[in-house]
Structure 1
């Protein structure tokens, strides 16, 4: 038997998905997680190295989702990365349920990648971040074993940010309202000159 999977998200992947949610506070948003499994049998780690913001309107529609996934798989597959999970932020601030859209897209990813993770933004943790000086991600971690289940009380023990200062950098980006610069697939489909890879976000 192998060890229990741990989940590690890079600072940039993490900041990108939180900024995506902050840009569209009145609607649900979603995106996919890219990465790979490392560490082998005894201490496997799912390394989430990047995230791609997908949609902020009609997020359950299949045709745009399929177009997005094909383009993402083509681009990241060439770099040896897989789609390893999904992230979601609910429309309502006080909604902490993983809804059916999130579960269905998670199921789709799980079929190809059984170690898939689903991350749900915890708005209360995000709101408390400036005062709490918390180091753990403001996300709930879900994994699938028959159905999608929350890991632990908040999932934080098995989900960590790779860089210890991730939340400090995030707060800096929040204070400078960097979320205005984030581009998701919705934006790209409306105007193909907008680059969903967000190459200038961290420059």
Structure 2
């Protein structure tokens, strides 16, 4: 079985945009989310994402376990598995991979050894407006049997968006302040009528 150190990661435009909008919706908080997809040869295809938490619950085990079970049950019927984890730090200038992010990503890795850990890079996000860079605005971390997550120095080659214009579309969503429409699992636990699947976000 191949490890994360050998795989490439391709993320669908909507999965990518949804997680970034989630982070923008809670600029004063750390946020996180799960990546859904499948392994196809040496490529991990990330086809969907689920925003998880934005509050003090972000590192708590009981709500996380509820979310993992619910999400896994829903997407397994579509042939998708949890293939990674997304995290955005509370501070705009913080690019450190913290304990909470590592612990949750470790949990995902136990079930999917090719798991990706994506950390939002706010500097890259801020620069998009000016340079229209095609690379994802996040840092890629992977791990192997060493049990430590390492930043991929060639992350721009190993992590790509499926659609080259994803960042341009992202800027359109940002200009429309679509982050206000994102619902995460935190919101759903507070009010179960809120759609954690965000079915209408891209309509």
TM-score range, shorter chain: over 0.9
Q: Please state whether the residue corresponding to 1:149 is helix, strand or coil.
A: strand
Q: Provide the alpha-carbon RMSD of the alignment.
A: 1.2
Q: What residue is the counterpart of 1:8 in the other structure?
A: 10
Q: Give the structure 2 partner of residue 131 of structure 1.
A: 130
**What residue is the counterpart of 1:60 in the other structure?**
59
Deviation at 1:135, TM superposition (A): 0.2
Distance of 2:25 and 2:97 partners within structure 1: 20
Question: Unaligned regions of 5+ residues in structure 1, if any?
Answer: none
Residues 105-116 of structure 1: pairs in structure 2 closer than 5 A? 105-116=104-115
Counterpart position of 1:30: 32
Tell me what 1:20 maps to. 22
CA displacement 1:19-52 (0-9 Å, x = unmatched): 00000000000000000011x2xxx100000000
Please identify which structure carries the higher helix content.
2
Tell me the TM-score normalised to structure 2 length. Answer: 0.95
CA deviations over 1:44-81 (Å, ceiling 9, x no partner): 10000000000000200110000000000000000000
Task: Give the paired residue count.
Answer: 198
SS in 1 for 2:35: strand
| CA shift for structure 1 position 141 | 0.2
SS for the counterpart of 1:26 is coil
Residue aligning to 2:186: 186
Q: Which SS does the other structure have where 2:52 is aligned?
A: strand
The Cα shift of 1:4 comes to 2.8
Looking at structure 2, the residues matched to 16 and 158 of structure 1 have their Cα atoms a distance apart, in angstroms, of 20
1:86: which partner in 2? 85
Structure 1 length-normalised TM: 0.95
What secondary structure is seen at the aligned counterpart in 1 of 2:6? Answer: coil
Q: Hey, which bits of structure 1, 4+ residues long, moved more than 2 A?
A: 1-4
In structure 1, C-alpha distance between the alignment counterparts of 2:188 and 2:17, rounded to whole Å: 20
